[in-house]
Chains A and B, each alone.
Chain A
Amino acid sequence: MAWKEGIVLQPYLPLLLMFVLAAGFAVFSVTAAPYIGPRRYNRAKLDAYECGIEPSPQPVVGGGRMPVAYYLTAMLFILFDIEMVFLYPFAVKADDLGLFGLVEIVLFIVSVGFAYAYVWRRGGLDWN
């Protein structure tokens, strides 16, 4: 294997190239779309989709209201996503850590479990 400068980032080079190709393809598609297709002006066509009436929650861009439960879900996602990310390094080295690792991970999951149980009891996971 040839050790050259920047060898650490070399594995990521294919990802970068893939990104360039994907982004190029996608940007080309969205830019080309208005030029390839026909253009027939019709005011009704440019309205928001509704069954012939004005959309009820008025213009949503930048100021509409949305159910607060979604924010809660997003916050919970952050909590558990971080828990998950901490579990990965442990999982890679679980065999080397042995009993010590097991005790530690039980303590970790139990401490996150308190937050989970609290959210559950307070109805944070309920939808209606």
Chain B
Amino acid sequence: MKTADLLADDPIWLIIIKVVGIFVYLVVFTLFMIWLERRVVGRMQHRPGPNRVGPFGLLQSLADGLKLAFKEDIRPVLADKWVFFLAPVVSAVPALLAFSVIPLGGEVTMFGERTALQLADLPVGLLVVLACSSLGVYGIVLAGWASGSPYPLLGALRSAAQVISYEIAMGLSIVAVVMYSGSMSTSDIVLAQKDNWFFYLLPLSFLIYLVSMVGETNRAPFDLAEAESELVGGFHTEYSSLKFALFFLAEYINMVTVSGLATTMFFGGWYAPWRFLPFGLGEVWAGADTGWWPLLWFTLKTLGFLFLFIWLRGTLPRFRYDQFMKLGWKVLVPVSLVWILGVTAVRVMQREELSTTFKLVAVLIGVTVIVLISFLIPDRPERDTTIVRTAGSDYPLPPPDLRVPAAPKRRLAAAATAKLPSATKEDGDV
């Protein structure tokens, strides 16, 4: 039975239970994720991280959330009253909405009703996720604009430009997945990966998706929108109390959503983690893909991606803005376009009965076009190393190959000051 048909029978009370369930799942995931991030980054920096509130400090983020609720809600005088009020809502709602098409599992029985562990299975499921992440940009831009303060405005602009740039790379990386599964419904994409997962069938798509999902969520090393050293806190600088909490929630839910989507599209969704193994190893435990087990597999895989987010944050320094935009527009977009064409061409070649001469001619034409295009790429301008660079003013900078003589050894230096004339030949060595 198809997932869409299973879901079509759901009575309204079951849908409400699922809606509340997914809401709770996301909020708990967010709280857990904040704790995990602080713990893991703490470990990476040789400190324990939060460990006081509850077992292993697990309740720390809950305590922080409650504390936020009892903080003063500040609205700066220059802020636009209504938009300032509305922006957190516009940011949080699409974040929650996007997750509702992600399949958490297959067929289960809930309170005597046969249904699927998924809230909605739409024929345009992937478009819903992309649309929601685009709508989330409105929340960011409006928040920055309405704050009436320079730093949030700059942060919001950066953030918006960043999200839309990487949204293109993300959308293009999805195209090949759609091609392989022949559907944009998320549950169909999972079912298409019963034996073959797409992360090794489409490695380049997976790589591009991985990079763009970090860019899309404004996370380190692409967290230029909240670069503390430049922009204070980014678009939510002026926000406090529960409004700030909503932005925080939206950011983490977005991370969970893109990780869940990565799991769905490239890591076999809710299938057991060993499912793709060859030689019948994937079928060692037939019951693993039935009942409520898939929920566990899905959660574990998603946690893996979330750990990757934390790992990146703990490891990599922040990008410079021009490098970041260059990576998005000049590398990811053309590479994914060429990759899409390549995948299409290979699939067509495999399926159609074409003569060898035709194939050869086609490959030849393709290679010629690529070579011609490569002529279009401008050469890197030669750097003139002889000029002495000046920094804005006419004050000359020291040449890059300046060699500073090493300081004399302390003992020698002391000796030199003690008896100046005789020490001169000793401190000449480098």
Contacts and interface: CB of A to CB of B under 8 A. Distances in A.
Given A26-B89, A127-B325, A46 B179 contact: no
Contacts of B150: 48, 50, 55-57, 60, 64
Nearest to A117: B376
A49 B8 contact: no
Nearest to A96: B182
A98 to B, nearest CB: 5
A11 B100 CA distance: 11
Nearest to B85: A30
Given A18-B96, A91-B179, A92-B182, A33 B238 contact: no
Given A22-B97, A95-B347, A99-B352, A84 B172 contact: yes
A46 B80 contact: no
B187 to A, nearest CB: 11
A55 B12 CA distance: 53
Contact of B93 (A22, A105, A113): A22
A48 B182 CA distance: 52
Interface stretch (B240-248, B405-413, B416-424): B240-248
A95 B238 contact: no
B325 A77 contact: no
Interface string A56-92: 1101111010110110011011001100100110011
B211 to A, nearest CB: 16
A23 B148 contact: no
A94 B352 CA distance: 12
A115 interface: no
A125 B96 CA distance: 33
Given A10-B8, A87-B172, A94-B344, A30 B89 contact: yes
Contacts of A109: 337, 340-341
A77 B164 contact: yes
Nearest to B95: A22
B165 A77 contact: yes
B330 A81 contact: no
Q: Which of A30, A76, A80, A81 has the most CB of B within 10 A?
A: A30
A122 B149 CA distance: 33
B425 interface: no
B16 to A, nearest CB: 6
Contacts of A50: 149-150
A49 B154 CA distance: 13
A51 B168 CA distance: 37
B160 interface: yes
B238 A18 contact: no
B72 A11 contact: no
B322 A92 contact: no
Given A95-B351, A98-B352, A109-B341, A32 B325 contact: no
A15 B88 contact: no
Contact of B119 (A18, A23, A45, A87): A18
Contacts of A98: 348, 351-352
B73 A37 contact: yes
Contact of B241 (A12, A13, A37, A128): A37
B149 A29 contact: no
A41 to B, nearest CB: 10
Given A21-B20, A77-B165, A26 B92 contact: yes
B97 A19 contact: yes
Contact of A33 (B73, B172, B345): B73
Nearest to A110: B369
Interface in B41-57: none
Contacts of A10: 8
A126 B322 contact: yes
16 contacts: A1-B9, A10-B8, A12-B120, A18-B19, A32-B69, A33-B242, A39-B72, A48-B150, A50-B149, A60-B145, A60-B149, A67-B157, A91-B178, A92-B182, A101-B344, A109-B337
